[in-house]
Amino acid sequence: MSKSKKKEFMEQAGQKRGNILREFLDFLRHNKKWWLLPILLILLLMGLILLLSGTALAPFLYPLF
């Protein structure tokens, strides 16, 4: 490795890490894959509904279907 690449690597290694949401948004912005966002939101919403269906909120969720 050249010194400049090694220095760049060390600088990036020392930077503060972001959370997974920030990394995902940076990925979407950089790669222009905004079509993934609605898919992910729908999957998260469905997961939340499935999680809540086993609780006392279940009678309020059934009219949604």
Helical pair 36-52 and 20-31, crossing angle rounded to 10 deg: 150
How many whole angstroms separate alpha carbon 28 and alpha carbon 65?
31
| pTM attached to this predicted model | 0.55
How many whole angstroms separate alpha carbon 46 and alpha carbon 1?
47
Distance between first and last Cα of the chain: 58
Instruction: Give 13-62 pLDDT, tens digit per residue.
Output: 777 777 888 888 888 888 988 898 899 999 999 998 888 877 887 777 77
